[in-house]
């Protein structure tokens, strides 16, 4: 009963795909360098809508860990680097433990869990800070020096903790919005 079954994997796949499409559209604002830091705010808020519907269907451990891993792999395949794989796994696993601790029945808890899960997005920013010079050099051929210089100006070395905090707080907001939109689904699933 507690093992993941075909239906669970289908839900993981469907909601990961929907979530990725929604956040990819929201993250397109990153083509304007001044908006790159805002991705850590916009993605968790917009992503909260489909994720809270997914949360209402989660009743087994591992679903968020797999979702986080899949998001990391998709981010790697779309050119965002490999850092989203470990951050997706870490924050997905923490979220799974929190879901299990709440017995999959706490609407308020799931808003908090969405804040935690949303912190996976920090993986997209790690290369900008950790491998700064290489990242800058990789930007030049495709985007040009003006874009690269502007991006680096808006992404100083000290920004990662700020972006992580922004992702968590915005994840709470996104969870609250998604929770309100899908309130009837939570009630139907026995989540109070």
Q: pLDDT grade, residue 186 (50/70/90)?
A: low
Q: What's the distance, CA 89 to chain centroid?
A: 11
| Average pLDDT score, the chain | 92
Q: Is the pLDDT of residue 99 over 70?
A: yes
Pairs from 180-185 (Cβ < 8 Å, separation ≥ 24): 181/49, 181/52, 182/52, 182/53, 182/56, 185/53, 185/56
How much of the chain, in percent, has pLDDT values that exceed 90?
Answer: 78
DSSP H helices in the chain: 6-27, 39-55, 63-77, 84-101, 107-117, 126-130, 132-143, 145-154, 160-181, 183-188
Write down the pLDDT at residue 33: 84
Write down the pLDDT at residue 53: 93
- CB of 192 within 8 A of CB of 107? yes
What tokens appear for 161 in the block? 């903790």
60-78 pLDDT, tens digit each: 999 999 999 999 999 999 9
Question: Rounded to whole angstroms, how far apart are CA atoms 55 and 57?
Answer: 5
Write down the pLDDT at residue 30: 81
Write down the pLDDT at residue 134: 92
Write down the pLDDT at residue 107: 86
Write down the pLDDT at residue 167: 97
140-183 pLDDT, tens digit each: 998 899 999 999 999 998 999 999 999 999 999 999 999 888 88
Specify burial of residue 183 (Cβ count, 10 A radius: 0-12, 13-18, 19+): middle
Q: pLDDT grade, residue 38 (50/70/90)?
A: very high
Specify burial of residue 189 (Cβ count, 10 A radius: 0-12, 13-18, 19+): middle
Q: Is the pLDDT of residue 192 over 70?
A: no
């Amino acid at each position: 009963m507690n093992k993941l079954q075909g239906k669970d994997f289908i839900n993981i796949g469907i909601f990961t795909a929907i979530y990725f499409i929604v956040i990819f559209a929201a993250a397109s604002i990153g083509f304007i360098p001044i908006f790159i830091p805002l991705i850590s705010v916009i993605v968790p808020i917009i992503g909260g809508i489909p994720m809270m519907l997914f949360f209402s269907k989660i009743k087994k451990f591992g679903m968020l860990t797999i979702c986080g891993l899949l998001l990391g792999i998709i981010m790697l395949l779309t050119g965002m680097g490999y850092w989203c794989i470990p951050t997706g796994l870490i924050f997905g696993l923490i979220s799974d433990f929190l879901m299990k601790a709440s017995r999959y029945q706490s609407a308020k808890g799931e808003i908090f869990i969405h804040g935690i899960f949303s912190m996976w997005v920090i993986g997209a920013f790690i290369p900008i800070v950790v491998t700064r010079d290489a990242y800058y050099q990789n930007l030049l051929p495709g985007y040009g020096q003006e874009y690269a210089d502007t991006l680096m100006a808006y992404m100083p070395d000290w920004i990662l903790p700020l972006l992580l905090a922004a992702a968590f707080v915005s994840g709470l907001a996104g969870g609250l919005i998604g929770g309100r939109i899908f309130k009837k689904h939570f009630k139907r699933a026995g989540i109070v």
